[in-house]
Amino acid sequence: MNQASHHIVVVGAGFGGLEFTRALAGAPVRITMIDKRNHHLFQPLLYQVATTALATSEIAWPVRHLLRKRKDVTTLLANVVGVDRPSKRVLLDDGSAVAYDTLLLATGARHAYFGHDEWEPFAPGLKTLEDATTVRRRILLAFEQAERETDPAKRQALLTIAIVGGGPTGVELAGTIVELAHDTLRGEFRNIDTRQTRVVLIEAGDRILANFAPKLSDYAMKALERLGVTIELGRAVTRCDAEGVVFGDKHLAASTILWAAGVAASPAAEWLSAAADRAGRVLVERDLSVPGSPEIFVVGDAAHVLRPDRRPVPGVAPAAKQQGRHVAATLKARLAGDTSPRPFRYRHDGDLATIGKRAAVIDFGWIKLTGWAAWWLWGIAHIYFLIGFRNRLAVSLSWLWIYATGQRSARLITQGDDDKG
Protein backbone atom coordinates (compact mmCIF):
# COMPACT_ATOMS: atom_id res chain seq x y z
CA MET A 1 0.00 0.00 0.00
CA ASN A 2 1.48 3.31 -1.12
CA GLN A 3 0.94 5.46 1.95
CA ALA A 4 1.99 8.76 0.38
CA SER A 5 -0.74 8.61 -2.25
CA HIS A 6 -3.42 6.67 -0.37
CA HIS A 7 -6.71 8.46 -0.99
CA ILE A 8 -9.72 8.05 1.27
CA VAL A 9 -13.20 9.18 0.28
CA VAL A 10 -15.72 9.77 3.07
CA VAL A 11 -19.37 10.10 2.06
CA GLY A 12 -21.36 11.77 4.82
CA ALA A 13 -20.32 14.43 7.32
CA GLY A 14 -22.40 13.07 10.18
CA PHE A 15 -21.16 11.63 13.46
CA GLY A 16 -19.50 8.57 11.92
CA GLY A 17 -17.81 10.30 9.00
CA LEU A 18 -16.58 13.23 11.05
CA GLU A 19 -15.23 11.04 13.85
CA PHE A 20 -13.41 8.84 11.32
CA THR A 21 -11.82 11.90 9.72
CA ARG A 22 -10.77 13.35 13.07
CA ALA A 23 -9.22 10.04 14.16
CA LEU A 24 -7.02 10.01 11.06
CA ALA A 25 -5.35 13.33 11.87
CA GLY A 26 -1.63 12.93 11.21
CA ALA A 27 -1.98 9.75 9.18
CA PRO A 28 -0.15 9.64 5.81
CA VAL A 29 -3.33 9.86 3.71
CA ARG A 30 -5.40 12.28 1.64
CA ILE A 31 -9.09 12.55 2.50
CA THR A 32 -12.00 13.82 0.42
CA MET A 33 -15.17 14.49 2.42
CA ILE A 34 -18.36 14.52 0.31
CA ASP A 35 -21.77 15.58 1.59
CA LYS A 36 -24.89 16.95 -0.11
CA ARG A 37 -25.23 19.50 2.70
CA ASN A 38 -22.60 21.94 3.86
CA HIS A 39 -23.14 21.36 7.56
CA HIS A 40 -22.71 18.79 10.30
CA LEU A 41 -25.94 18.39 12.27
CA PHE A 42 -26.34 17.49 15.94
CA GLN A 43 -29.45 15.37 15.35
CA PRO A 44 -30.29 14.60 19.02
CA LEU A 45 -31.49 18.19 19.44
CA LEU A 46 -33.25 18.50 16.10
CA TYR A 47 -36.64 18.21 17.77
CA GLN A 48 -35.88 21.38 19.75
CA VAL A 49 -35.52 23.34 16.51
CA ALA A 50 -38.83 21.86 15.38
CA THR A 51 -40.51 22.99 18.61
CA THR A 52 -39.09 26.55 18.65
CA ALA A 53 -36.64 26.05 21.55
CA LEU A 54 -33.43 26.43 19.53
CA ALA A 55 -32.32 28.11 16.32
CA THR A 56 -30.86 26.11 13.45
CA SER A 57 -27.42 27.68 13.87
CA GLU A 58 -27.19 26.38 17.45
CA ILE A 59 -27.11 22.71 16.44
CA ALA A 60 -25.34 22.77 13.06
CA TRP A 61 -21.86 23.81 11.92
CA PRO A 62 -20.34 24.30 8.45
CA VAL A 63 -18.22 21.29 7.56
CA ARG A 64 -15.53 23.47 5.99
CA HIS A 65 -15.18 25.40 9.23
CA LEU A 66 -14.85 22.23 11.30
CA LEU A 67 -12.11 20.90 9.01
CA ARG A 68 -10.42 24.21 8.19
CA LYS A 69 -7.17 23.26 9.95
CA ARG A 70 -6.93 19.88 8.25
CA LYS A 71 -4.88 20.54 5.13
CA ASP A 72 -5.08 16.84 4.28
CA VAL A 73 -8.89 17.07 3.88
CA THR A 74 -10.73 18.37 0.82
CA THR A 75 -14.45 19.04 1.29
CA LEU A 76 -16.87 18.71 -1.62
CA LEU A 77 -20.51 19.79 -1.64
CA ALA A 78 -21.96 17.17 -3.97
CA ASN A 79 -24.67 14.53 -4.28
CA VAL A 80 -23.50 10.92 -4.53
CA VAL A 81 -25.64 8.66 -6.73
CA GLY A 82 -23.60 5.47 -6.87
CA VAL A 83 -20.37 3.56 -6.36
CA ASP A 84 -18.41 1.83 -9.12
CA ARG A 85 -16.79 -0.94 -7.07
CA PRO A 86 -14.65 -2.49 -9.84
CA SER A 87 -13.16 0.89 -10.79
CA LYS A 88 -13.09 2.22 -7.21
CA ARG A 89 -14.97 5.41 -8.00
CA VAL A 90 -17.73 7.35 -6.25
CA LEU A 91 -20.28 8.60 -8.80
CA LEU A 92 -21.81 12.09 -8.52
CA ASP A 93 -25.07 13.39 -9.91
CA ASP A 94 -23.35 15.79 -12.34
CA GLY A 95 -21.75 12.87 -14.16
CA SER A 96 -18.33 13.23 -12.56
CA ALA A 97 -16.59 10.72 -10.31
CA VAL A 98 -14.08 10.67 -7.45
CA ALA A 99 -11.55 7.83 -7.29
CA TYR A 100 -10.68 6.20 -3.97
CA ASP A 101 -8.32 3.69 -2.43
CA THR A 102 -10.46 3.38 0.71
CA LEU A 103 -14.13 4.36 0.89
CA LEU A 104 -16.18 5.09 4.02
CA LEU A 105 -19.95 5.35 3.63
CA ALA A 106 -21.50 7.17 6.59
CA THR A 107 -24.69 8.26 4.90
CA GLY A 108 -27.20 7.94 7.73
CA ALA A 109 -30.89 7.16 7.48
CA ARG A 110 -34.12 8.54 6.08
CA HIS A 111 -37.79 8.21 7.03
CA ALA A 112 -39.55 4.85 6.65
CA TYR A 113 -43.30 4.74 6.16
CA PHE A 114 -43.60 0.92 6.03
CA GLY A 115 -44.53 0.82 2.37
CA HIS A 116 -46.76 3.91 2.51
CA ASP A 117 -44.56 6.67 1.12
CA GLU A 118 -47.73 8.50 0.11
CA TRP A 119 -48.10 9.45 3.80
CA GLU A 120 -44.95 11.58 3.82
CA PRO A 121 -46.54 14.84 2.56
CA PHE A 122 -49.03 14.67 5.44
CA ALA A 123 -46.71 13.31 8.16
CA PRO A 124 -43.19 14.74 7.90
CA GLY A 125 -40.37 13.09 9.78
CA LEU A 126 -37.41 14.67 11.52
CA LYS A 127 -33.94 13.96 10.10
CA THR A 128 -32.66 17.25 8.64
CA LEU A 129 -32.75 20.97 9.38
CA GLU A 130 -35.22 21.32 6.52
CA ASP A 131 -37.47 18.77 8.24
CA ALA A 132 -37.23 20.68 11.51
CA THR A 133 -38.20 24.03 10.00
CA THR A 134 -41.04 22.32 8.09
CA VAL A 135 -42.40 20.81 11.32
CA ARG A 136 -42.02 24.13 13.15
CA ARG A 137 -43.88 25.93 10.38
CA ARG A 138 -46.75 23.45 10.39
CA ILE A 139 -47.16 23.60 14.16
CA LEU A 140 -47.17 27.41 14.28
CA LEU A 141 -49.40 27.73 11.20
CA ALA A 142 -51.95 25.43 12.82
CA PHE A 143 -52.36 27.92 15.68
CA GLU A 144 -52.57 30.85 13.27
CA GLN A 145 -55.25 29.10 11.21
CA ALA A 146 -57.17 28.10 14.33
CA GLU A 147 -57.26 31.77 15.38
CA ARG A 148 -59.23 32.53 12.19
CA GLU A 149 -61.40 29.40 12.08
CA THR A 150 -65.02 29.78 13.23
CA ASP A 151 -66.16 26.18 12.81
CA PRO A 152 -65.64 24.40 16.19
CA ALA A 153 -64.84 20.99 14.68
CA LYS A 154 -62.31 22.41 12.23
CA ARG A 155 -60.78 24.54 14.95
CA GLN A 156 -60.31 21.49 17.19
CA ALA A 157 -58.68 19.58 14.34
CA LEU A 158 -56.26 22.48 13.92
CA LEU A 159 -55.50 22.31 17.63
CA THR A 160 -54.87 18.55 17.52
CA ILE A 161 -51.33 17.30 16.90
CA ALA A 162 -50.77 13.60 16.30
CA ILE A 163 -47.31 12.07 16.75
CA VAL A 164 -46.78 8.60 15.31
CA GLY A 165 -44.13 6.60 17.18
CA GLY A 166 -43.41 6.24 20.88
CA GLY A 167 -39.62 6.10 20.78
CA PRO A 168 -37.36 8.85 22.16
CA THR A 169 -38.12 11.27 19.30
CA GLY A 170 -41.87 10.87 19.66
CA VAL A 171 -41.75 11.22 23.45
CA GLU A 172 -39.53 14.29 23.29
CA LEU A 173 -41.72 15.93 20.64
CA ALA A 174 -44.90 15.25 22.61
CA GLY A 175 -43.61 16.69 25.86
CA THR A 176 -42.16 19.80 24.25
CA ILE A 177 -45.15 20.55 22.01
CA VAL A 178 -47.64 20.36 24.87
CA GLU A 179 -45.49 22.79 26.87
CA LEU A 180 -45.26 25.10 23.86
CA ALA A 181 -49.05 25.17 23.59
CA HIS A 182 -49.88 25.30 27.30
CA ASP A 183 -47.15 27.66 28.50
CA THR A 184 -45.30 29.57 25.78
CA LEU A 185 -48.26 30.52 23.58
CA ARG A 186 -50.78 31.03 26.37
CA GLY A 187 -52.35 34.47 26.19
CA GLU A 188 -50.95 35.37 22.78
CA PHE A 189 -54.15 34.65 20.84
CA ARG A 190 -57.57 36.28 21.20
CA ASN A 191 -59.97 33.75 19.66
CA ILE A 192 -58.45 30.50 20.87
CA ASP A 193 -57.10 29.14 24.11
CA THR A 194 -53.92 27.28 23.21
CA ARG A 195 -54.31 25.24 26.40
CA GLN A 196 -57.10 23.40 24.54
CA THR A 197 -54.46 21.94 22.22
CA ARG A 198 -54.55 18.16 22.16
CA VAL A 199 -51.29 16.24 21.66
CA VAL A 200 -51.80 12.55 20.88
CA LEU A 201 -48.89 10.09 20.88
CA ILE A 202 -49.66 6.91 18.91
CA GLU A 203 -47.55 3.78 19.43
CA ALA A 204 -48.23 0.40 17.81
CA GLY A 205 -46.46 -1.49 20.62
CA ASP A 206 -47.63 -2.11 24.15
CA ARG A 207 -45.46 0.62 25.70
CA ILE A 208 -43.53 3.74 24.80
CA LEU A 209 -39.71 3.82 24.95
CA ALA A 210 -39.55 0.09 24.26
CA ASN A 211 -35.73 0.08 24.41
CA PHE A 212 -35.79 1.31 28.02
CA ALA A 213 -36.44 -0.72 31.15
CA PRO A 214 -40.21 -1.21 31.69
CA LYS A 215 -40.29 0.91 34.85
CA LEU A 216 -38.73 3.82 32.95
CA SER A 217 -41.33 3.43 30.19
CA ASP A 218 -44.06 3.53 32.83
CA TYR A 219 -42.55 6.65 34.38
CA ALA A 220 -42.33 8.38 30.99
CA MET A 221 -45.93 7.52 30.18
CA LYS A 222 -47.22 8.90 33.47
CA ALA A 223 -45.06 12.03 33.13
CA LEU A 224 -46.45 12.71 29.65
CA GLU A 225 -50.00 12.17 30.81
CA ARG A 226 -49.44 14.63 33.66
CA LEU A 227 -48.36 17.19 31.07
CA GLY A 228 -51.60 16.59 29.16
CA VAL A 229 -50.46 14.21 26.41
CA THR A 230 -52.93 11.53 25.31
CA ILE A 231 -51.17 8.19 24.68
CA GLU A 232 -52.66 5.52 22.41
CA LEU A 233 -50.99 2.10 22.58
CA GLY A 234 -51.36 -1.18 20.73
CA ARG A 235 -52.80 0.12 17.48
CA ALA A 236 -50.78 0.68 14.32
CA VAL A 237 -51.45 3.58 11.98
CA THR A 238 -53.21 2.52 8.78
CA ARG A 239 -53.77 5.88 7.10
CA CYS A 240 -52.47 9.45 7.10
CA ASP A 241 -54.05 12.17 4.99
CA ALA A 242 -55.17 15.79 5.08
CA GLU A 243 -58.09 14.87 7.33
CA GLY A 244 -56.03 13.21 10.05
CA VAL A 245 -54.78 9.78 11.00
CA VAL A 246 -56.40 6.34 11.35
CA PHE A 247 -55.05 3.82 13.88
CA GLY A 248 -56.82 0.57 14.59
CA ASP A 249 -60.51 1.32 14.08
CA LYS A 250 -60.19 4.92 15.25
CA HIS A 251 -59.99 8.10 13.17
CA LEU A 252 -58.38 11.17 14.72
CA ALA A 253 -59.06 14.51 13.05
CA ALA A 254 -55.71 16.30 13.18
CA SER A 255 -54.30 18.98 10.91
CA THR A 256 -50.72 18.29 12.05
CA ILE A 257 -49.24 14.78 11.95
CA LEU A 258 -45.59 14.17 12.83
CA TRP A 259 -43.79 10.93 11.94
CA ALA A 260 -41.42 9.38 14.49
CA ALA A 261 -42.19 5.72 13.87
CA GLY A 262 -39.39 4.33 11.78
CA VAL A 263 -36.31 4.90 9.67
CA ALA A 264 -34.71 3.27 6.64
CA ALA A 265 -31.06 3.37 5.69
CA SER A 266 -29.72 5.63 2.98
CA PRO A 267 -29.31 3.99 -0.45
CA ALA A 268 -25.75 2.83 0.32
CA ALA A 269 -26.69 -0.83 -0.20
CA GLU A 270 -28.18 0.03 -3.60
CA TRP A 271 -25.02 1.90 -4.60
CA LEU A 272 -22.92 -1.12 -3.71
CA SER A 273 -25.34 -3.81 -4.92
CA ALA A 274 -24.72 -5.31 -1.48
CA ALA A 275 -26.88 -7.51 0.73
CA ALA A 276 -29.04 -5.54 3.17
CA ASP A 277 -31.51 -6.09 5.99
CA ARG A 278 -35.19 -5.13 5.84
CA ALA A 279 -34.36 -1.51 6.73
CA GLY A 280 -31.87 -1.28 3.86
CA ARG A 281 -28.75 -1.37 6.05
CA VAL A 282 -25.69 -3.00 4.53
CA LEU A 283 -24.82 -6.41 6.03
CA VAL A 284 -21.20 -5.65 6.83
CA GLU A 285 -18.38 -7.91 8.02
CA ARG A 286 -17.35 -7.90 11.69
CA ASP A 287 -14.75 -5.20 10.96
CA LEU A 288 -17.47 -3.04 9.27
CA SER A 289 -16.13 -3.66 5.77
CA VAL A 290 -18.33 -4.71 2.84
CA PRO A 291 -18.21 -8.42 1.94
CA GLY A 292 -15.94 -8.86 -1.07
CA SER A 293 -14.59 -5.29 -0.83
CA PRO A 294 -12.28 -4.92 2.18
CA GLU A 295 -11.44 -1.38 1.07
CA ILE A 296 -15.06 -0.21 1.57
CA PHE A 297 -16.50 0.39 5.03
CA VAL A 298 -20.05 1.31 6.10
CA VAL A 299 -20.82 2.84 9.51
CA GLY A 300 -23.70 4.38 11.44
CA ASP A 301 -27.34 4.08 10.40
CA ALA A 302 -26.35 2.66 6.99
CA ALA A 303 -24.72 -0.45 8.51
CA HIS A 304 -26.30 -3.57 10.00
CA VAL A 305 -24.04 -4.47 12.93
CA LEU A 306 -24.78 -7.06 15.61
CA ARG A 307 -23.72 -7.14 19.25
CA PRO A 308 -22.40 -10.38 20.77
CA ASP A 309 -25.94 -11.15 21.98
CA ARG A 310 -27.15 -10.86 18.34
CA ARG A 311 -29.10 -7.69 18.98
CA PRO A 312 -28.45 -4.93 16.42
CA VAL A 313 -26.28 -1.98 17.37
CA PRO A 314 -28.70 0.97 17.79
CA GLY A 315 -28.74 3.83 15.32
CA VAL A 316 -27.50 6.48 17.76
CA ALA A 317 -24.69 9.03 17.64
CA PRO A 318 -22.34 7.25 20.09
CA ALA A 319 -22.52 4.06 18.01
CA ALA A 320 -21.66 5.91 14.80
CA LYS A 321 -18.73 7.65 16.49
CA GLN A 322 -17.39 4.38 17.90
CA GLN A 323 -17.61 2.81 14.46
CA GLY A 324 -15.85 5.76 12.85
CA ARG A 325 -12.99 5.50 15.34
CA HIS A 326 -12.77 1.73 14.84
CA VAL A 327 -12.45 2.00 11.05
CA ALA A 328 -9.80 4.71 11.45
CA ALA A 329 -7.79 2.43 13.75
CA THR A 330 -8.18 -0.46 11.30
CA LEU A 331 -6.95 1.68 8.43
CA LYS A 332 -3.97 2.93 10.41
CA ALA A 333 -3.05 -0.68 11.19
CA ARG A 334 -3.30 -1.60 7.52
CA LEU A 335 -1.08 1.32 6.54
CA ALA A 336 1.48 -0.02 9.01
CA GLY A 337 1.29 -3.46 7.41
CA ASP A 338 -0.99 -5.15 9.95
CA THR A 339 -3.86 -6.83 8.10
CA SER A 340 -5.05 -9.02 10.97
CA PRO A 341 -8.85 -9.06 11.59
CA ARG A 342 -10.16 -6.27 13.82
CA PRO A 343 -13.80 -7.00 14.79
CA PHE A 344 -15.84 -4.06 16.00
CA ARG A 345 -17.10 -4.20 19.58
CA TYR A 346 -19.87 -1.82 20.54
CA ARG A 347 -19.95 -0.24 23.99
CA HIS A 348 -23.44 0.89 24.93
CA ASP A 349 -23.25 4.08 26.99
CA GLY A 350 -26.94 4.18 27.85
CA ASP A 351 -30.32 5.49 26.69
CA LEU A 352 -31.66 8.97 27.40
CA ALA A 353 -34.93 10.75 26.69
CA THR A 354 -36.32 14.02 27.98
CA ILE A 355 -39.95 14.66 28.89
CA GLY A 356 -40.63 18.36 28.69
CA LYS A 357 -38.47 20.83 30.56
CA ARG A 358 -38.45 19.26 34.01
CA ALA A 359 -38.15 15.49 33.62
CA ALA A 360 -36.19 12.83 31.77
CA VAL A 361 -35.41 9.13 31.90
CA ILE A 362 -31.88 7.73 31.79
CA ASP A 363 -30.97 4.06 31.53
CA PHE A 364 -27.27 3.33 31.95
CA GLY A 365 -27.94 -0.31 32.78
CA TRP A 366 -26.14 -0.18 36.11
CA ILE A 367 -28.10 2.92 37.12
CA LYS A 368 -31.49 4.25 36.14
CA LEU A 369 -32.63 7.81 36.81
CA THR A 370 -35.88 9.70 36.39
CA GLY A 371 -37.23 13.16 37.03
CA TRP A 372 -35.47 16.44 37.65
CA ALA A 373 -32.01 14.96 38.29
CA ALA A 374 -32.20 12.95 35.08
CA TRP A 375 -33.21 16.07 33.15
CA TRP A 376 -30.15 17.98 34.36
CA LEU A 377 -27.85 15.06 33.54
CA TRP A 378 -29.47 14.76 30.09
CA GLY A 379 -28.85 18.47 29.49
CA ILE A 380 -25.23 18.35 30.65
CA ALA A 381 -24.52 15.35 28.42
CA HIS A 382 -25.97 17.04 25.33
CA ILE A 383 -24.21 20.34 25.97
CA TYR A 384 -20.92 18.47 26.39
CA PHE A 385 -21.20 16.90 22.93
CA LEU A 386 -22.03 20.17 21.17
CA ILE A 387 -19.21 21.67 19.12
CA GLY A 388 -17.70 24.97 20.26
CA PHE A 389 -18.03 27.21 23.30
CA ARG A 390 -20.42 29.62 21.57
CA ASN A 391 -22.98 26.88 20.84
CA ARG A 392 -22.68 25.38 24.31
CA LEU A 393 -23.28 28.80 25.85
CA ALA A 394 -26.17 29.66 23.51
CA VAL A 395 -27.98 26.36 24.11
CA SER A 396 -27.41 26.56 27.87
CA LEU A 397 -28.85 30.08 28.04
CA SER A 398 -31.83 29.11 25.85
CA TRP A 399 -32.65 26.15 28.09
CA LEU A 400 -32.28 28.17 31.28
CA TRP A 401 -34.56 30.87 29.86
CA ILE A 402 -37.20 28.32 28.86
CA TYR A 403 -36.89 26.60 32.23
CA ALA A 404 -37.37 29.87 34.11
CA THR A 405 -39.98 31.60 31.94
CA GLY A 406 -41.49 29.02 29.58
CA GLN A 407 -40.73 31.33 26.66
CA ARG A 408 -39.11 30.10 23.42
CA SER A 409 -37.38 32.55 21.10
CA ALA A 410 -37.25 30.64 17.79
CA ARG A 411 -40.95 30.97 16.91
CA LEU A 412 -40.49 32.01 13.31
CA ILE A 413 -42.64 30.83 10.41
CA THR A 414 -40.24 30.57 7.47
CA GLN A 415 -39.88 28.89 4.05
CA GLY A 416 -43.01 30.43 2.56
CA ASP A 417 -46.38 28.75 2.15
CA ASP A 418 -46.91 25.29 3.55
CA ASP A 419 -48.14 22.62 1.15
CA LYS A 420 -49.12 19.15 2.34
CA GLY A 421 -49.40 17.74 -1.14
Q: Tell me the catalytic residues.
A: 172
Residue 420, judged by CB atoms within 10 A of its CB (0-12, 13-18, 19+), counts as middle
What's the chain look like in SS3? CCHHHCEEEEECCCHHHHHHHHHCCCCCCEEEEEECCCEEECHHHHHHHHCCCCCHHHCEEEHHHHCCCCCCEEEEECCEEEEECCCCEEEECCCCEEECCEEEECCCEEECCCCCHHHCCCCCCCCCHHHHHHHHHHHHHHHHHHHHCCCHHHHHHHCEEEEECCCHHHHHHHHHHHHHHHHHCCCCCCCCCHHHCEEEEEECCCCCCCCCCHHHHHHHHHHHHHHCCEEEECCCEEEEECCEEEECCEEEECCEEEECCCEEECCHHHHHCCCECCCCCEECCCCCEECCEEEEEECHHHEECECCCCCECCCCHHHHHHHHHHHHHHHHHHHCCCCCCCCCCCCCCCEEEEECCCEEEEECCCCEEEHHHHHHHHHHHHHHHCCCHHHHHHHHHHHHHHHHHCCCCCCCCCCCCCCCC
